[in-house]
Structure 1
Amino acid sequence: MFEWLRTFWHGRILFLARGEQLARFVNLVSRDGIILYHTQKSERGMRAQIKLADFRRLRKAARQTRTRVHIVAKYGWPFVAARWWRRKGLLLGIIIIASVLTILSQLVLSISVSGNKNLRTPEVLERAEILGLKTWVYSKKLNLNGIAKTLQEQLPDAAWIGIERHGTNIEIKVSEKIRPSIPNEAGNLVASRAGIVKEIMVIEGMPMVHEGETVRAGQVLIKSPGNNQSTSKGTPPVSVARGFVRARVWYSAEAQIPLVEDKVEESGRVATGRGIKFGSRVIMLTIQNSPFEQSRQEEISQSLKLWRNWRFPVEGIRVNHIELRNLHIERSVDEARQLAEQAARAEVQKKITLGVPIVLETVKVISNNSDSERVRVEVETYEDLAVYANP
C-alpha cells in the first residue's frame, strides 16, 4: 500500500527503447545509478518504467548507443497536478461547488412528517420549529432525541414520535394512539383497549367508569360536558372531555423454535461498491459484481435535496453485497426454549406503546414437542387508556 502511494507521488514514465545496442544501453543506465522497473523485451524493442526524476538522465546513454526512446504512458501525481494546473478555472469551480455542497449537506433543507392521520402536519411542524427544528439550521447542533421527547409530551394524541436524519432531510415519524371508530362519540374519551381501571382523573367532563372496573376497547370512559353531536358536518363539538384513565392491560405472544433447522443467514462479510447515477444511467466506480458465491444486494441512493421536491441531478449510489451462507443448526432443548422466549418477548414489545412501563411478565412453556419448543410470554402494563374516538 505505502509502496503504491510512494510510486504514485513521485510519478513514473513507461517508455519504449529501440536500437541495436539495447544491452549496452541497459548497462550504461545501470552504471549511472538509474533503476528500470518492469523491463520487458518485445519485437519492437524494450519496454520499461522509470522514475520521472530519472527520465532526463537517459539522454546520455541513449546518445552513446544511438537508442531511440519514446514515451508510451505517464503515471503519477506530478502529471495529474500539471494537467489540473492547466485547467485552473475548472479546478476552482469544482472546489467552490464541493465547498457549497459540503456546507449545504450539513444544513436542514427539508422537514417531512410521516405516519400521522389525525394529527395535522402543519401543527407538528409548527411545534417542532418552536423547539428549534427548522430549515437552514445545522443538523448536528440539534438534539433530535430531546425534540422528539418534547413533541411527544406536547401532542397528547401521539403514542410515540421519532426523528431521523436522512442527509439534508429530517423525517418526523409519528405513531398515533389507536382511536376506536365509534359514531356519535366525538368529544368523548374512550378506551383504546381492554383493561382494568386503576386510576381516574377527570379535568373536564363526566366519568362513566369507576376504579376496579373492567372496560373493553371503545367503551366511553369520560363523557364530554357539552353536546356530543357535531354542530355541522366535519366540524368538531363545542366542548370535549379532558382527563386520563390509567389501567392494567395485558399483552401476549407465542413463538416456536425447532430443535433442528437448515437456514440461510448473513455471514457478516460485506463488499461495498460505489457509483454515480445520472438520471437512469448508473456508472459503478468500484465492485460492479458481487465477489461472493451467494449474496443479497442492498442499494442505497445518496442524493442531495436542495429545495422541497427538487433534488440535485447527480446521485451517489452505494451497493452493499452481503454474503449469505447455508447453516445446519442443531439446538438443545434449553437453547430452543431460550430463543423462543426471546422471539415471543420481542413480538410483545411491538404491541406495547413505546415508553409504557411493564409491571409483570410471565413466561409459559405451552408444549413439549420433540421437534420444537413453543413458549408464550404474557406481559402486564400500566398505561393511559383514554383517547378521543373517531366519529
Structure 2
Amino acid sequence: MNKLNSFIQGYVSVVIRGEQREQFVNLATKKRLEIWDVRFRGGQGITMKVLLRDFFEFRPLLKETSCRVHVQERFGLPFQLNKLGRRKAFISGFFLFLLGLYVLSSLVWKVDVQGNVRLSEDEILKAARQEGIYVFQWSFRLKNQEDLSKRLSHSIPGVTWVGVEKHGTNITIQVAEATKPDERVLNNPRHLVAKADAVITDIYTEQGRPQVRKNTRVKKGSILISGIIGSEQNPQVVVARGDVKGLVWHEYEVSVPLIQKEKTYTGEWKERKYLITGDRALQLTGYGKIPFAKYDIVEDREDAKVGPYQLPVGMMTEKLMEVQYIERELSETDAKNVGLQQARSDVLVKNGPNAQIQAEKILHQEIKNGKVYLNILFEVEQWITEELPIVQP
C-alpha cells in the first residue's frame, strides 16, 4: 500500500475477534478491501490495517461472520484535520502555513554547478542568470529544461554539453567540458631503484638495463633498472621503465581488547511523520519525548506525483529504532585472530592492490590490561620500484 496515499486517505489499525475471523479476512480480500499488515494473534484475534473508506464496508462482513471489530489506532490526514478542526483559528493558521510553504517551494533556493574543472563556477552562474536561472526566481517562470540546456550549451564557451535538472527547490547545472589533447609529458632521465630491502621475485624491463636477477637480495636505494645504456665509450641516458617485484618484510604491532561492545536492535521503535514542502518539514505525528536513550534513525521519503510530474510536496517517515550495546568477551585465541586480520588488511592496503602475503609469524604475544598485544612479521610480495633522477654534468 502506498504510504503517501494511505496517509492522505486515512487508515485505522483494528482487531477482529470471533470464531470465524479467518473467514472474515477471506471475505474482505475477496471484496478487494484495502487491508494490509494482517497478523494472526491466536486467541487474541487478528490485527490489520485498513483504509478509512473500506473500514465502513466491514459492517456486512462482520454480520455475516458474527465477528466483532475494535479500533486500536487512527492514522492519517483526516484524523489530523479532525483534531485541528476543534480549533478553527489553529486550522486556519495551519492552512496559511501550508500556503506559505507552497509559495516558498515555488521559488528557486539553490543553484548548484557540477562537472566543471577549468571553467569557473561564477562564469557558469553568470550565463545561467542571463537565461533566468538564479536564486529566488519563480520556478514557473523558468523555460523547460531542454531549452535551457541548449541555450546554455551555446552561451558557455568550452563546453560540449550542459544539462539542467530541477529537484524540488534546487537547480543543478551539469557541465561537460570540451576535452583538450593531453600534452605529452617529457620525462627526465632516471633509474628505477628499490624502495625497500627485498629479495627479487620478478623483473620486467620495458626500457633501460636490468641490474638484478631473480632471487637477488637488494638494499633500499639499489639500482634495479638502470637508465644508462650503450657501451662505456658511447653511453646513452634514457628514462628507465619497467617493474620489479620482491619479497619485503613488514613488522606490525596490534592490540585487541578482550571485551568487545556490539550494537544490537531491541525491536522497540517509534515513528514520526512529516509533511515535506521543498526543503522544509512539518511534523505531523510522533510528538513527545523519545523513550530511548540510544537509537538509530531510518528515513523513508515519498514524493507526491501527478502522472509523470513530481509535486513539491511529499511525506517523510522517520523510524527511531532503539539500540543497545552488548559486551562480548573474547578468548585469547579469538582476540589473536581479530588482531591478525586487522594487521593483514592494513599491510595489503598500504602496499598496493597487487601485494600478496606469502608468510606471517607472530614474534611476541601477551595479555596486558585487558588487551591482547601482538608483534607480527609479514613476508609480502609487492612492487618495489621508485624513480631516481639521473643527474647529468
Q: Which TM-score applies when normalising by structure 1?
A: 0.40
